[in-house]
Structure 1
Amino acid sequence: MARKNFVCEWTPKSFILTVVIATVLFNECFIYIIQSFRWPDIGIADYRNYEEEQVILLVSDPQLQGYQMEPPFPIGSFSRWDIDRYLTRTFGLVYHHVKPDIILFLGDLIDEGSTAVDEEYHYAYQRFIDVFSAAEYTKKIYIPGDNDIGGEGRDFRTQKKVDRFVKNFENITGVSTFGFIDYIKLDMQFPEPRFLEKRMLATSFGDKLGPGIHILLTHNTILPRDKPFVISILQQVRPHLIFSGHWHKANVFLCNDCMKDDDSSWSVKQRNIEDMKGWMVTNLTEKPFSITEIMVPTCSYRMGVPNMGYGVAIIRKNGELSYTVLWTPERYKMLYGYLVAICVCLLVCLASRWLRKR
């Protein structure tokens, strides 16, 4: 009986189908898994006592795209769908990798949160809940950014905007104690038109703070500001650490002896950590007059910066801090990959037609 030889012959259709499937699988599945393998190990047991050490996940500037500034259907609908899906996938992978005790959202949660009408805000808020649904049962703290309640340029802050944020998320100021850490929300706005009010608010917070670690949460960065403007507020809340966002980049600011009154200026050292791959380790309580501020990068690829990620901090009761950034894939490169795949498929089609005519 004759033996049949099965030979796999590449046809234009089979080649195009292979290119399409491979591109989709890589861009929508494998790239996320590959990137997660590059993240440093947390190195802490899943079952831990948050009274002794806490794992903190930091989410900054997700800025879910709205409805006013996006192109009309179908481009606008596709862009909202794609950024929501990107954030859902990256946050889900990061959340399960970190298994945090608490999640801190550092403002600019919704891109048009300040300008949206109520119906648009409702839809955007529901999308926000869906995107971060993996952490439904984890403790969270939200602070607003200028995109949420105004305050930048001609986008003025109003009480209505503040009330809408409070109704959907939580109060924009306050002290939230979790374990041995006091999380302080002061809503620092620059330039601040109500400086005396903020100073009085900080004084009232100072009476509520315990002997543990004090962390100040702010959307706008603090330490690069002029010392006379913020020193009296910092002296009231005595933060060991500041978390901020707004610039969409990863930076660390260190100010030695900045809590002293002996000078009208301070020397702040800035370190860019956009190339961070491991852990930064320091102790927050060894130098009583020093403050560290960590600026967390944006997690959205729509912010015009090349590097996106989520901050992770491990803080122990003795003041030891370990911090890193879990970088996420560059979505624009993936979208360009689709464009290249389309061009290749078109060239194959044209070439096959030309060869058939020959």
Structure 2
Amino acid sequence: MVSLVLVQRRLQNLTVGKVVLALVVVVTFFNEYLVYTLHSFRWASIPTDRNPKEEMVILLVSDPQLIGIQDEIGFPLGPIIRWDADSYLRKTFYRAYYHTIPDVVVFLGDIMDEGSKATDSEYQSYFQRFNSIFYETSYAKTVVIPGDNDIGGEGGDLRTFFKVNRFEKHFENLTGAVSHGFVDFLKLDIRMMKDQVLEKQKVISDVATQLKGKFRIIVNHESIITKPKSSIYPSQMLSCDTCLSDDEDMNNWPYYQRDMASMEPYIDVDFTNLIALSEIMVPTCSYRMGVPKMGYGVAVINKSGKMKYTVLWLPSRYHLLYVYIVVLAVAAFVLIINWVFSPVKSRKWPYR
């Protein structure tokens, strides 16, 4: 009887305002924390107790495109939009990092959305945001290459020495070799729409003297096996079993395309086939690019020459923002209706 009376009293004290507030709190908790944790349960398992001399895990981050200031909406919405996009990257990268505990983190360009045209003060603020969002990279080896949004090179946005020099001062050299364990990461800055044969031959010749590892991976912002970008987005693998054969026509590689959006859970690559070439297109990790699927690429390479690749797919932020809009609209409607139909004497702010 006592318990029943207590329950009745609690129900009597439960106002419409309190119910609405509880609903908003629950939705916020789900949208800002729980959904990311639940989504990570769907990711393929990664061996975290591995022997680093025998197995290496590489976390691939593509097109974070930190939102700039010049092209974004002004105050007060601009700072809120930048904060939300940064928060999404921070939460997802944090979970991807600790899910994989990578040996190497590779950033595949377009670090910033407005890096190419930013002022020095804006560029410095973007660089500080990058370090804050991807803070966990301080624990692992990192490889960073630029995209056209960082140093120009697309359309009328010309690449200049100043832009390249600024990127290299804040991050690392545009080209070169980065060695870690039994893998060499080659940064060749190959642009398929530019005739740079002699320049690239010199870069490759210089890089060759730096090679130490058993296997070599070229990291590049643009596709090297030529194919329109629209047909390989968001996550594809282009494979050619005979591309490096002496008998192959170097101007017409017979490659085939594999869709990784539906793969379960890994796709296998054999590094021991010396005439084969495989290229992985890593999806963007930024929801602001407007694509339906975002994710981080993960490559697990064994010293024997076998590689497994998967994508850690991310939840849609736009869907979560739509949920906010619907919940807030319903909450406002309920509070207004409750206020309109409540007795005049009892009308007051619902949270008092």
Q: Same fold (TM over 0.5)?
A: yes
Q: Report the aligned-residue RMSD.
A: 2.3
Q: Secondary structure at the match of 1:109?
A: coil
Displacement, 1:50?
2.7
Q: Secondary structure at the match of 2:106?
A: strand
Residue 104 (structure 1) aligned to one of 103, 106, 110: 106
- After superposing the two structures, state which structure 1 stretch, 170-179 or 217-226, moved more: 217-226
1:242-291 per-position Cα deviation (integer Å, ceiling 9, x unaligned)? xx999761111001211134324121111221233411123211x22110
Q: Residue in 1 aligned with 2:313? A: 327
> Is 1:309 aligned to residue 309 of structure 2?
no
Q: Secondary structure at the match of 2:311?
A: strand
Q: Residue in 1 aligned with 2:236? A: 251
Q: Residue in 1 aligned with 2:162? A: 160
Q: Secondary structure at the match of 1:116?
A: coil
Residue 35 (structure 2) aligned to one of 31, 36, 41: 31
Q: Residue in 1 aligned with 2:348? A: none
Residue 197 (structure 2) aligned to one of 189, 195, 198: 195
Q: Is the 8 A contact 2:188 2:200 kept in 1?
A: yes
Displacement, 1:125?
0.5
| Paired residue type of 1:29 | Y
Q: Residue in 2 aligned with 1:352? A: 338
**C-alpha spacing 1:211/1:77, structure 2 compared with 1 (3 Å):** closer
Q: Secondary structure at the match of 2:139?
A: coil
Looking at structure 2, the residues matched to 258 and 63 of structure 1 have their Cα atoms a distance apart, in angstroms, of 33
Q: Is the 8 A contact 1:151 1:189 kept in 2?
A: no
Please show how residues 144-293 of structure 1 align to structure 2 within 5 Å.
144-210=146-212, 212-224=214-226, 249-262=234-247, 263=249, 264-285=251-272, 287-293=273-279
Looking at structure 1, the residues matched to 299 and 188 of structure 2 have their Cα atoms a distance apart, in angstroms, of 21
**C-alpha spacing 1:346/1:179, structure 2 compared with 1 (3 Å):** same
Q: Residue in 1 aligned with 2:140? A: 138
Displacement, 1:207?
4.1
1:54-111 per-position Cα deviation (integer Å, ceiling 9, x unaligned)? 1111111001001101000111100111111111111111111110111001110111
| Paired residue type of 1:25 | F
| Paired residue type of 1:300 | S
Q: Is the 8 A contact 2:240 2:278 kept in 1?
A: yes
| Paired residue type of 1:108 | D
Displacement, 1:131?
0.3
Looking at structure 1, the residues matched to 216 and 136 of structure 2 have their Cα atoms a distance apart, in angstroms, of 28
| Identical-residue share of aligned pairs (%) | 43
| Paired residue type of 2:39 | Q
Q: Secondary structure at the match of 1:20?
A: helix
Runs ≥4 residues deviating over 4 A: 244-248
Looking at structure 1, the residues matched to 276 and 289 of structure 2 have their Cα atoms a distance apart, in angstroms, of 32
Q: Secondary structure at the match of 1:136?
A: helix
1:130-150 per-position Cα deviation (integer Å, ceiling 9, x unaligned)? 001122121101011111111
Q: Is the 8 A contact 1:254 1:269 kept in 2?
A: yes
Displacement, 1:43?
2.8
Q: Is the 8 A contact 1:247 1:297 kept in 2?
A: no
Q: Secondary structure at the match of 2:185?
A: strand
> Is 1:42 aligned to residue 46 of structure 2?
yes
Q: Secondary structure at the match of 1:83?
A: helix
> Is 1:19 aligned to residue 5 of structure 2?
no
Displacement, 1:206?
3.1
Looking at structure 2, the residues matched to 342 and 246 of structure 1 have their Cα atoms a distance apart, in angstroms, of 38
> Is 1:295 aligned to residue 281 of structure 2?
yes
| Paired residue type of 1:259 | L
Displacement, 1:40?
1.4
| Paired residue type of 1:100 | P
Q: Is the 8 A contact 1:114 1:149 kept in 2?
A: yes
Q: Secondary structure at the match of 2:56?
A: strand
Q: Is the 8 A contact 2:241 2:277 kept in 1?
A: yes
Looking at structure 1, the residues matched to 44 and 25 of structure 2 have their Cα atoms a distance apart, in angstroms, of 31
| Paired residue type of 2:259 | N
Q: Secondary structure at the match of 1:42?
A: coil
Q: Which runs of 5+ in 1 are unaligned?
A: 227-243
Q: Is the 8 A contact 1:149 1:161 kept in 2?
A: yes
Looking at structure 2, the residues matched to 267 and 346 of structure 1 have their Cα atoms a distance apart, in angstroms, of 59
1:295-318 per-position Cα deviation (integer Å, ceiling 9, x unaligned)? 111011001101111111110111
Q: Residue in 1 aligned with 2:350? A: none
Q: Secondary structure at the match of 1:164?
A: helix
Displacement, 1:319?
0.7
